[in-house]
Chains A and B, each alone.
Chain A
Amino acid sequence: MNQKIPIEMIVNGNTIQAEIEPRRHLVDFLREDLGLKGPHLGCEQGACGACTVRVDGQIVRGCLYLAVQANGKVVDTVEGLTAQGVLTALQNAFLRRNAMQCGFCSSGMLLSAAELIEQRPEATREQVREWISGNYCRCTGYHSIVDAIMNVLEAQREQTE
């Protein structure tokens, strides 16, 4: 069972080739093999959301997804998405609303929030809370995070009016 499997994927726009053990989950591959420290490893059992990354445009738990499953897919982490519109707006709003203290949850929180803003542009405060219920923050009490996400949603709605 020391099988190593060749994989190829696009990570943050770059084609990556590697040979990995099947048991390596995606976050370990990103952090340890590629040196991308944006996605964090918290509970390693799918509860905390700190490891959230995007695979083929959808957020997933990086600890509940094997790196070999990402073979042939497009993976994006907070590092790669920062330069783009929604995430930049969110990061600015997080700064403005002081929506972080230790920052451990921030990368996962940002990616979850970005998918919400793209898929549920009409979301209410209640729906924002539901959506980010899969991302734990042990510092802020969530209020400032919800404020920040609402700011971006409201700005986006004003623009489209």
Chain B
Amino acid sequence: MKAAAFDYIKAQSVPEVLALMSKHGDDARLIAGGQTLLATLNMRLSEPQLLIDITQLAELNGIELSGEHLWIGALVTHTEIENSPLIQKYAPILGAAAPHIAHRAIRNLGTWGGSLVYGDPAAEWPACSLAVNATMVLRGLQGERRVLAADFFVDLYTTALAPDEILMGTEIPLANTKQVFSFQELARRHGDYAIAGLAAVAQKTGQTLTACNFAFFSIATTPVLAKKAQAIVNGQILSTELIAAGVAMARSEIETMDDITNSAAAKTHLVGVLLERALKTMLAE
């Protein structure tokens, strides 16, 4: 199908975007990569009156070291993350996750920020942002505020971003030499939406993991940290028994939801399968 008619403005500055959003409210949509938006427009699931193109805004671009953080601008594409030496060094789980996102032609346009603010529970970046303790930098007419990934994903397609705010980018604590990670995703075909996935990051000393983040996706209305399983694994020698205990706890603590093709029971089972694989991978590193 064809999209319904809309007006289009290519914004030249962040203040201009914020002013346009405040003037047009719900009738306006931002477009960056557009890889979700344009499909919904073509299917007429959404009929905004105005598209505000933000791709020209240099402030929202770039992957850079800034102090103790890695800055990833909201407009950075999945392909840029896939190819970035800074990501490989300071947030390597993102490099491992990127190839799982859709297909190359879509990764060439789709953006980091777009995926985060859309808050699709099946998407890779929201879970990864939880796993690496990312901080979202949000700007509105009242100024800038920072929200931890752990507080950002509120509900299905719903984030802490206010209607009059935009995501500028994220700050990610730099990975050190003790960081280990495992990215696990099950999908019917490469590039399809995940049946279940896990972004796991921890600090490793000998055979002990600390600062564990096990962020599951495509199993509930938001990405979910398995906090009790993390507490079981944290600081203990990662024995076969400990792995089994962590797996059992993750299965019992996470309330999974079914999707069109997979039952909640299947997802609960997969939560354990993925965590076991991830723990064994991290142990072997």
Selected A-B contacts with CB under 8 Å, 24 pairs: A1-B5, A1-B6, A21-B5, A22-B6, A23-B41, A44-B1, A45-B39, A45-B43, A46-B35, A46-B39, A49-B103, A60-B105, A64-B35, A64-B39, A64-B109, A65-B38, A65-B109, A66-B34, A69-B53, A71-B10, A130-B99, A133-B189, A133-B191, A134-B103
Interface presence of A147 (CB below 8 A)? no
A134-B35 contact in complex given A23-B6, A44-B42, C-beta closer than 8 Å: no
Q: Within 8 Å CB of A28, what residues of B? A: 2
Which residues of the other chain, A, contact B4 by a CB distance below 8 angstroms? Answer: 23
Q: How far is the CA of A64 from the CA of B3 in the complex (A)?
A: 11
Q: Of residues 63 to 111 in B, which have CB atoms within 8 Å of A's CB atoms?
A: 79, 99, 102-106, 108-109
B79 to chain A, nearest CB (A): 7
Which chain A residue shows the least CB distance to B33?
Answer: A64
- Interface assignment of A140: CB less than 8 Å from any CB of chain B: no
Interface of A, secondary structure class, is mixed
In the complex, which residue of chain B has the Cβ closest to the Cβ of A132? B103
Does A106 have its Cβ within 8 Å of any Cβ on chain B? no
Q: A22-B8, A65-B34 are in contact. List 15 more A-B contacts (CB 8 A).
A: A1-B7, A1-B49, A3-B8, A5-B8, A22-B51, A23-B6, A44-B2, A49-B105, A63-B42, A64-B42, A66-B38, A68-B8, A133-B103, A133-B191, A134-B102
- Determine whether A15 belongs to the interface, using a CB cutoff of 8 Å to chain B: no
Q: Is the CB of B3 within 8 A of A25?
A: yes
A-B residue pairs, 4 tightest by C-beta: A134-B103, A22-B8, A1-B5, A64-B38
Beta-carbon contacts of A1-26 to B below 8 Å, as 1s and 0s?
A: 11101000000000000000111010
B35 cross-chain contacts in A, Cβ below 8 A: 46, 61, 64
* B interface residues, Cβ below 8 angstroms from A: 1-8, 10, 31, 34-35, 38-39, 41-43, 49, 51, 53, 55, 79, 99, 102-106, 108-109, 189-191
A78–chain B nearest beta-carbon distance, Å: 14
In this complex, the member of A46, A49, A58, A59 whose beta carbon has the largest number of chain B beta carbons within 10 angstroms is: A46
Q: How far is the CA of A156 from the CA of B5 in the complex (A)?
A: 47
| Complex CA distance for A131 and B10, rounded to whole angstroms | 32
Task: Point out which of A21, A28, A64, A133 has the most chain B C-beta atoms below 10 A from its C-beta.
Answer: A64
Instruction: Give complex CA distance A66, B109 in Å.
Output: 12
> Nearest-CB distance from A74 to chain B (Å)?
14
- Are A112 and B2 closer than 8 Å at their CB atoms? no
Q: Does A52 contact B (CB under 8 A)?
A: yes
Minimal beta-carbon separation of A21 from chain B (angstroms) = 7
Instruction: Kindly state the separation between the CA atoms of A28 and B43 in the bound complex, as whole angstroms.
Output: 15
Residue of A nearest to B38 (CB): A64
**A:60-84 near B, CB below 8 Å:** 60-61, 63-66, 68-69, 71
A49 to B190, CA, bound (A): 14
Instruction: List, in ascending order, chain A residues with CB within 8 A of B51's CB.
Output: 22, 66
Q: Mark A46-62, 1 if CB is under 8 A from B, else 0.
A: 10010010000011110
CA distance A115 to B103 in the complex (A): 12
In chain A, residues 83-113, which have Cβ atoms closer than 8 Å to a Cβ of chain B?
112
Chain A residues, Cβ within 8 Å of B7: 1, 3, 22
Q: Report B-chain residues with C-beta under 8 Å of the C-beta of A71.
A: 10
Q: Which residues of B contact A49 (CB under 8 A)?
A: 103, 105
Docked Cα-Cα span, A134 to B100, in Å, equals 12
A58 → chain B closest CB, angstroms? 4
